[in-house]
Amino acid sequence: MIQATVRMRIAPHRRNEVLEVLIPLAERARIQPGCLSFRIYHDEQQEGVFLSEALWQGEEELKKYLCSENYGQVLQAAELALEPPEIQFKTISHVAGLEIIEEARGIKKNNHG
Domain map of the chain by residue range?
A: 2-105
Per-residue model confidence as pLDDT tens digits over 63-109: 999 999 888 888 888 888 999 999 999 999 888 888 888 888 987 76
- Cross-strand partners of 50: 8, 42
User: Does residue 113 carry a pLDDT above 60?
Assistant: no
Per-residue model confidence as pLDDT tens digits over 31-47: 999 999 999 998 888 88
Domain 2-105 has CATH 3.30.70.100: yes
Q: How confident is the model at residue 17 (pLDDT cuts 50, 70, 90)?
A: confident
Position 110 scores a pLDDT of 59
Q: What ranges make up the beta strands (E) of 1-109?
A: 2-9, 35-42, 49-56, 86-91
